[in-house]
Amino acid sequence: MRLLIIEDEPGIAGFLKDGLEEEYFAVDIAYDGKNGLDLAMTNEYDLIIIDWMIPVISGIEVCRQIRKSGSLVPIMFLTAKDTLEDVLFGLEAGANDYIKKPFAFEELLARIRVQLRSKHQGDDSLRAGHLNINPGTHQVFYDSSEITLTPKEFALLEYLVRNKEKVCTRSRIIEHVWDIHFDSDTSVIDVYITFLRRKLENAGCGNLIQTIRGVGYIIRES
């Protein structure tokens, strides 16, 4: 899952990136509104976190512009503006959630996961056939036996399971699993898919990930 953080305070942006990357998210950072808006318009993010008071273009305006472009990406405000009017103003501008500074990192994480749930998901856990993924603890189970994965393998599997029954192209996988600093050599995906398939097969999961030749990969439950 790839996140964009628009935050002008380097200290906050710094620990958010550290903490979220530990949680297997791909994180991009923009230090002002204009840069943030450019990134939001050119890349496909799973979630955007915006500070209200940022230079050049305000967070509110960035949020409005993103919504104006037709994007439905979950947006969360993370700001020191804490009056009721501010919260209402932020949510009305199109944000999905509003977190006041100072905040607890664990709460932010939990709220990010809430925003990433699909409509059919009652909690954070993801399922594909007998495969069960817990994004909170980064554990993967096949029936009751746990499969140990590296962070990148986990992030790749999580993305594929979240988009099960849909074809995930190589470029989209790159966009959503790796951050902006990764050069778009898609052959690295094939390498990780090979690792992942081997671990799943060893656990008895069979050929869960199917190749769509020349396009990408898909997970089918049937």
- Cβ–Cβ under 8 Å, residues 96 and 116: no
Give me the least distance between CB of 107 and another protein, in Å please: 10
Under the criterion CB under 8 A, does residue 102 sit at the interface with another protein?
yes
- C-alpha 62/C-alpha 38 separation (Å) is 10
Under the criterion CB under 8 A, does residue 220 sit at the interface with another protein?
no
Give me the least distance between CB of 26 and another protein, in Å please: 17
- Cβ–Cβ under 8 Å, residues 95 and 63: yes
- C-alpha 170/C-alpha 49 separation (Å) is 25
Nearer to another protein, 18 or 146 (CB): 18
Give me the least distance between CB of 10 and another protein, in Å please: 5
Under the criterion CB under 8 A, does residue 19 sit at the interface with another protein?
yes
The H-or-E segment that residue 169 falls in is strand 168-169
Amino acid type, 86: D
Under the criterion CB under 8 A, does residue 182 sit at the interface with another protein?
no
- C-alpha 63/C-alpha 215 separation (Å) is 33
Binding residue for another protein (CB under 8 A) from 80, 110, 191, 215?
80
Given the rule CB under 8 A, which residues bind another protein?
A: 8-12, 14-16, 18-19, 22, 31-32, 53, 55-56, 80-82, 101-106
